Amino acid sequence: MGGGNYNVDVAERFRESTTEDTIFRSQGLSAREKCDPSLNIKGKIRECCDSLEHPNTTPIVVVMDFTSSRGDDAKVIFAKAPMFFGQMKMRNYVPDPEICWMGIGDATCDKAPLQVAQFESDNKLDDELAKMWLEGGGGGTGQESYELAAYAIVKKMKLDAVTKRNKKALVFFLIDEGFYPVISKSQVKKVFGDDLSADIPSEQIFAELNNMADVFVIYPKKSWQERKADIDVEMRERLEQAGGRFRDVDIRASLRWDTYDDLDLHVVCPGGEVWYANKKCSNGELDVDRNAGGPQTRKPVENIRWAKGEAPKGRYKVFVQNYAFHEDERNPIPFLVELEVNGKIQKFEGVSASKKENGSRSNITAFEFNYDPAERQISSDESDLYKGYDDALIKAQWANVIPADNILEIDDPKVIIDVMLGAVAINSGSSLDGYLVDMEGRGQTARRREETTAALSGLADKANTVKVDVGKRLPKITTKKKTSKIKRL
């Protein structure tokens, strides 16, 4: 694909008439309910080919996390795409840039774990970005399917720069979690249609990716407590909007799925069973029961909980039943159960009605456990439960597959494009000092330049460029400023 030229004025008018809230609506998530067919990579190849008009293409892949924790990054990309592309062209950071947008989720539970746009170099970039579905899922394990994005680039892209001119592509991962250590052959079959003889270690595919691309990670600084809040956000929002109790509980079993069908949550407890026909038992209560009696929402939730201090000692069993189909077609129903016991949270992903069954024949057990009221205090090692979200562990995993200096840490998501653009400039031979001058020339604040400097200093040092002291006055542009159509965003 590709070809043509990007018109910044057209792009700006598009944003004035079609804001990110219009495209990415419904509480920050897209109103779509499935992946756009054109973004489905199964059985397809994405191409970045040289031409007479563009003989030296530079393929750039931007991999965005569309799970609940990072979905809003797409809005930043949407807002600043004209500046990103326009500055690359105007400053000649790289020749003939062509961009492929890619969205990832979690292949263990999401409907659209991978969305891959065409490579474009004109205003079709906006069209491709606007097709993206911000599913807002994620598995709650501290991992997302970034390794599938790496597989797509290595195995499903034809890049003339790489194969004909021995020039590396540029790849940016916008992440806040780790990747799965193994590329599942079953997931590869489902997402790409490829038949593998065995699973592939993720390190192997990243090694292949590094041979063909300079790979960067844009990584927001967060504590594990903040990441814990991120993974709980979708369940919490659904529950609280429906009037369910999320906080201050001994035990909470919450179920969510994404169809009109009526799944039921059951908890067998020491004194009986809590379910839709017996909503209160042994101090436990079913306080949310969506899609009961007919279709109500495609973002349903159910909740059974014991308030803090009220759960009795004994054995518990949590299971899910498909009570009734409400969709026009009877399809398998993916679901997520979140179990909280004394402040510790576990996740279970399952698929109900895989053989179109309902009633007791569809029962799927999610958890069985013994509860002791003496353990009500949250243990001091609560962070162990969320070790997948630990900042140091996440960075260490990525540093094992890409150069550590290519992990670019940021505080404010609004600086994403500035950091990406700076990485492009430095990787192509510009100095950090010179890039900061360019930032000042397009009206970026001193604070924004400081944040960008902090993110790029390691990369600049590696490239033997001058590390700017952010405490000093930044250099001024001494040449006459040229009129630019690039607006400050």
**CATH number reported for the structural domain that contains residue 268 in this entry:** 2.60.60
Mean per-residue pLDDT over the chain, rounded: 83
Do 90 and 153 fall into the same domain? yes
| pLDDT tier, 472 (very low <50, low <70, confident <90, very high otherwise) | very low
| pLDDT tier, 255 (very low <50, low <70, confident <90, very high otherwise) | very high
Residues 25 and 136 sit within 8 Å (Cβ to Cβ): no
Do 178 and 111 fall into the same domain? yes
Predicted pLDDT of residue 443: 92
List the CATH number of the domain containing 404. Answer: 3.40.50.410
Percent of the chain with pLDDT over 70: 80
Residue 100 to residue 293: CA distance in whole angstroms: 44
Residue 56 to residue 150: CA distance in whole angstroms: 23
| pLDDT tier, 29 (very low <50, low <70, confident <90, very high otherwise) | very low
| Mean pLDDT comparison of 100-104, 389-393, 468-472, highest-scoring range | 100-104
Do 214 and 174 fall into the same domain? yes
Model confidence pLDDT, tens digit, residues 381-403: 444 545 556 778 888 999 999 99
Predicted pLDDT of residue 21: 46
Residue 304 to residue 164: CA distance in whole angstroms: 60
Predicted pLDDT of residue 30: 37
| pLDDT tier, 477 (very low <50, low <70, confident <90, very high otherwise) | very low
| pLDDT tier, 230 (very low <50, low <70, confident <90, very high otherwise) | low
Percent of the chain with pLDDT over 90: 57
Do 197 and 55 fall into the same domain? yes
| Last residue in a domain, options 378, 410, 434 | 378
Give yes or no for residue 459 having a pLDDT over 90. yes
**Which of 79-88, 224-233, 336-345 is predicted least confidently?**
224-233
Single out the residue of 297, 298, 278 nearest to residue 286, CA to CA.
278
Residue 223 to residue 390: CA distance in whole angstroms: 7
Single out the residue of 448, 451, 463, 232 nearest to residue 345, CA to CA.
232
Backbone angles phi, psi at 155, to 5 degrees: -100, -20
Domain annotation covers residue 439: yes
Give yes or no for residue 437 having a pLDDT over 80. yes
Model confidence pLDDT, tens digit, residues 320-349: 999 999 998 899 999 989 999 987 777 888
**Which of 5-14, 58-67, 187-196 is predicted least confidently?**
5-14
Residue 408 to residue 236: CA distance in whole angstroms: 30
Predicted pLDDT of residue 221: 77
Predicted pLDDT of residue 464: 62
Do 34 and 122 fall into the same domain? yes
Predicted pLDDT of residue 356: 92
Question: How many structural domains are present in the chain?
Answer: 2
Do 327 and 453 fall into the same domain? no
Mean pLDDT throughout 148-168? 97
Mean pLDDT throughout 38-50? 96
Instruction: Taking the CA atoms of 15, 20, 21 and 24 in sequence, report the sign of the dihedral they define.
Output: positive
